[in-house]
Amino acid sequence: MKKRTTQRVAARAVAALAVAGTLAVAVPQSASASDFLNPCDLRSKISELQGWGSDTSSNIIVFKATAQRSSHFDGVVAQGSAKAIPCGVAFGVKEYRWVVFKGDGEFVHKGDGGFRNWAYYGNTDRFGEKVVFHRR
């Protein structure tokens, strides 16, 4: 029962943020407390992991597993995964992963980009498909 409540609250919060035109992005008390994932806009998972904007002290990345060319993250606080049908696809479940970390890191993206395949928040520099995270 508790899981359903969390999912409903998360879904309402995403809808409210989307209507307001802002989707703040970054770690809640329990980073894996919910399986909620919107594969059409992975920024919503970042917002959930960030505690809907209340904690901006960590770097966060959410990505479709197939969109990862290479990566490393130091000081991992939480990580998890979920399976979902990709946005705009009628079938075929894909794995999505997320990592919350305080240290340095690097993620090299493979694919067409956009918030359907990856989203990130933190102290970063981006060089094309490569994002370099700096210690928070």
* Residues 75-113 pLDDT 10s: 999 999 999 999 888 888 999 999 999 999 999 999 876
What pLDDT score was predicted for residue 53? 82
Can you give the residue range of the structural domain that contains 81?
2-133
Per-residue tokens: 9:
């609250």
H/E run at residue 14: helix 2-20
What pLDDT score was predicted for residue 17? 34
What pLDDT score was predicted for residue 4? 39
Rounded to whole angstroms, what are the CA distances from 127 to 15, 47, 49, 57, 76?
Answer: 31, 23, 25, 23, 23
What pLDDT score was predicted for residue 35? 62
What pLDDT score was predicted for residue 96? 95
What pLDDT score was predicted for residue 115? 74
Sign of torsion, CA 122 24 128 70?
positive
What pLDDT score was predicted for residue 69? 93
Total of domains in the chain: 1
Rounded to whole angstroms, what are the CA distances from 23 to 10, 54, 108, 111?
Answer: 13, 13, 24, 23
Report residues of the chain scoring pLDDT below 50.
1-33
Cβ–Cβ < 8 Å for 134, 123: yes
Cβ–Cβ < 8 Å for 129, 93: no
